[in-house]
Amino acid sequence: MIRRSRAQQLGLLGGLVGAFLAAAAVTAPALADEGEEAVPARTQVQTAVAILRTQPEQLELAADRINDATEADDKDGVDIDRVEQAKKTLEAGDMAKTELLLEQALGGCPGEPIANPTKIRATRPQQPCPTPAHELALGRVPLGGAAKPALVAIGAVLVVGGLVLTRSIR
């Protein structure tokens, strides 16, 4: 029986760990992509829209989802031409147009909820799209003019008045 020295044992262990890490590094990208084609394009596009809406800083994640949508096996219910256009507009840095194109690719009105009508929501009415809600939101009218200072003053008076009254009642 061959007895290996402690240094040899450590070397063998290090070699095995190194080999494992090297194999993992080579195969990881392939493993990560494995099975992405099985996810329907509709789900990928929905996720891309959600990422753009809720985490606009995650552009690469959204780009991956758009790319996966174009390569999906199941492209049912998705206008892939618009997805391809969205891919280009995202590369050009136009996020608003990308979101719009992706929503249209799903047959949705811009800014409206995107849903599978058979699930939680009712069937989408067959009529022209209304003004996009998110465009309306861009014009959110903050309390302007005298309203905000007046409300702040009223609030402050109520707080101070209430505290003085509380003290006097006690």
Partner 1 sequence: MSDTTLDRPAGVPPASGRRRLWDALDERLGLKGLQYPIPAHANTLAYSLGGLSLLSFVLLVATGIFLTQYYNPDPAAAHASVRRIITGVTGGDFIRAFHYWASMAMIVLVGLHLLRVFVSASFKRPREGNWVIGVALAAITAGLFFTGSVLKWDQESLEALEHNIEVGKLLGRFGFWFSDTFGGIALLTRLYVVHISVLPALFTLAVVAHLLLVKRHGMAPSPFRRDTAKDSGPEPTRPFTRHLAELGALGLVLVGVLTLLAALLPPGHGPAPIEGIEVTKPPWPLLWVYPVEDWLGLSGILWATLAIFAALLLVPLVDRSPERHPRRRLAVMIGAGLVVVAIIGLIIFAAIQPVVSHIEM
The binding site for partner 1 (CB under 8 A) comprises 43, 46-47, 49-51, 53-55, 111-116, 119-122, 124-125, 130, 133-134, 136-137, 139-143, 147-148, 151-152, 154-163, 165-166, 169-170
Contact between 41 and 70 (Cβ < 8 Å): yes
Cβ-contact 66, 130 below 8 angstroms: no
Rounded to a whole number of angstroms, the distance between the first and last alpha carbons of the chain is 93
Q: How far is the CB of 66 from partner 1 (least distance, A)?
A: 14
Tokens 């939101």 label which residue? 137
| 90 close to 98: Cβ distance less than 8 angstroms | yes
Residue placing its CB nearer to partner 1 in the complex, 18 or 113:
113
How far apart are the C-alpha atoms of 162 and 168, rounded to whole Å? 10
Using the minimum distance from each CB to partner 1, give the nearer residue, 12 or 133. 133
Nearer to partner 1 by Cβ, of 19 and 163: the residue is 163
Question: For partner 1, which is the closer residue by CB, 75 or 124?
Answer: 124
Rounded CA-CA distance 50/99 in Å is 9
Our CB check for partner 1 shows the closer of 22 and 151 to be 151
Question: Nearest CA to 81 among 69, 92, 93?
Answer: 69
